[in-house]
Amino acid sequence: MGFGGGQWVDHINHAGSGINATATAQFAADRAFETYHTFFDQVAVTNASIRDCYAGATRDYVDMQADQAAGRRIQMPTHVEYSHYNLVTLSGFEVGEVWAAYVDPAVKLSVEGVCCGQGHFIVELAPEETVGQLASFLDRLGVKSTREDAGAERRNEL
């Protein structure tokens, strides 16, 4: 907190955007970075983020290891979207191999990277590609809904 939650999230947003300047500009549009900054200047928001990361590195990891040791795997169709730039180009991960260990081989596993230098924040940086991947996955499962249908349903709720 000495650095400031807003300062910290500014650093994270810029560092996690990747190398695609057009996508980063889209991510930052409409004062989004300033909005993140304002929220993270609140101690409760920063603390919640810290607790989430801490759980992922401790309790969630221990639980995942126990599930793996007991042979428990995800039992439903799963689609994994990830930053190809971050996880493959920079880190050399074999994302498909990693996720195959977590998903039962009897269910559908789809693993697809988001292209073009997008960083960690793939939904914000490449919304059309991430929604397109998810729509294709749902189509393969036989779930028929278009983005236009979803938008119309949302408008009707309002």
HSE-CB at 15 with a 13 A cutoff on CA atoms is: 6
In a domain, 152, yes or no: yes
Is 117 among the domain residues? yes
Nearest CA to 83 among 131, 18, 10, 15? 18
Identity of residue 58: T
Identify the residue whose tokens are 């992922």.
56
The span from the CA of 29 to the CA of 34, in Å, is 10
Which residue type, as a one-letter code, is found at position 143?
Answer: V
Domain for residue 58, yes or no? no
Distance CA 19, CA 118 (A): 6
pLDDT for 147 equals 59
pLDDT tens per residue across span 38-73: 999 999 999 999 999 999 999 999 999 999 999 999
Structural domain boundaries, residue 141: 5-41+73-157
**78 phi and psi angles, rounded to 5 deg:** -135, 135
Contact 31, 62 (CB under 8 A): no
Residue 34 falls within a domain, yes or no? yes
The answer as to whether 47 is a domain residue is no
In a domain, 54, yes or no: no
**Is position 84 within any domain?**
yes
Span between the terminal Cα atoms of the chain, in Å: 38
> What is the count of structural domains for the chain?
1
Q: Is 28 contained in some domain?
A: yes
The encoded tokens of residue 26 equal 């889209």
Predicted local confidence at residue 154, as pLDDT: 46
Residue 18 DSSP SS3: strand
Share of the chain above pLDDT 90, in %: 87
* Average pLDDT, integer, range 133-152: 78
